[in-house]
Amino acid sequence: MTIILNGKETKIVKGSNIKTLLKNGYLEVLEYVTVQVNDNIFPKDSYDNYIIKEGDVIEFLYYMGGGSEYFQ
The model scores a pTM over 0.95: no
For the 2-63 domain, the top CATH level (class) is alpha beta
Residue 33 contacts residue 61 (beta carbons within 8 Å): yes
Domain locations in the chain as residue ranges: 2-63
Amino acid type, 19: K
Encode pLDDT of 7-59 as tens digits.
Answer: 999 999 999 999 888 888 766 666 778 899 999 998 988 999 999 999 999 99
Q: Provide the 3-class DSSP secondary structure of residue 30.
A: helix
**Nearest partner of 52 among 35, 34, 33, 29, judged by Cα:** 35
Whole-number Å distance between alpha carbons of 6 and 38: 12
Whole-number Å distance between alpha carbons of 37 and 63: 16
